[in-house]
């Protein structure tokens, strides 16, 4: 396997691992939060739903993990990266130095 194919293979493998970790994190989140909801319900019949706080905190982490795993970034997406790299390469060719 040449270097380019090996690099692509390693990147794909790395991406699959990130997605797998996301799904593991999501399933753990769902199971633990369901357990906490049950505990909160049987403890005080939801007089004070304290389970909202860990659900929101951990939920934000799960969302950020998903954004990373699926390479979703509305601001700095792949098109932006490619345009910026082309801009830097063109500037480098004109000035023959990095700025």
Residue 51 lies in a domain: yes
Give the tokens for residue 19: 């997605």
Residue 8 lies in a domain: yes
Residues 6+ apart with CB under 8 A from 78: 71
Residue 26 lies in a domain: yes
- Tokens 């860990």, located at residue: 54
Per-residue pLDDT of the chain (99 residues; tens, 9 = 90+): 688 888 889 988 999 999 999 999 999 999 999 999 999 999 988 789 999 999 999 999 999 999 989 888 777 767 777 788 888 888 777 776 655
Domain count, the chain: 1
Q: In angstroms, rounded to a whole number, what is the distance separating the alpha carbons of residues 63 and 70?
A: 11
Residue 82 lies in a domain: no
Q: Which domain covers residue 37, as residue numbers? A: 3-74
pLDDT at 36: 96
Q: Would the pTM of this model clear 0.75, i.e. be above it?
A: no
Residue 46 lies in a domain: yes
pLDDT at 99: 57
Report the run of H or E that residue 21 belongs to, with start and end: helix 3-44
Give the tokens for residue 17: 């691992």
């Amino acid at each position: 396997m040449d270097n380019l194919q090996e690099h692509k293979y390693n990147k794909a493998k790395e991406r699959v691992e990130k997605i797998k970790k996301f799904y593991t994190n999501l399933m753990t989140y769902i199971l633990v939060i369901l357990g906490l909801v049950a505990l909160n319900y049987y403890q005080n019949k939801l007089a004070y739903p304290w389970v909202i706080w860990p659900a929101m905190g951990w939920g934000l982490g799960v969302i950020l993990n998903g954004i990373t795993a699926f390479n979703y970034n509305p601001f700095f997406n792949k098109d932006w990266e490619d345009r910026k790299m082309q801009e830097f390469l063109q500037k480098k060719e004109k000035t023959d130095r990095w700025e």
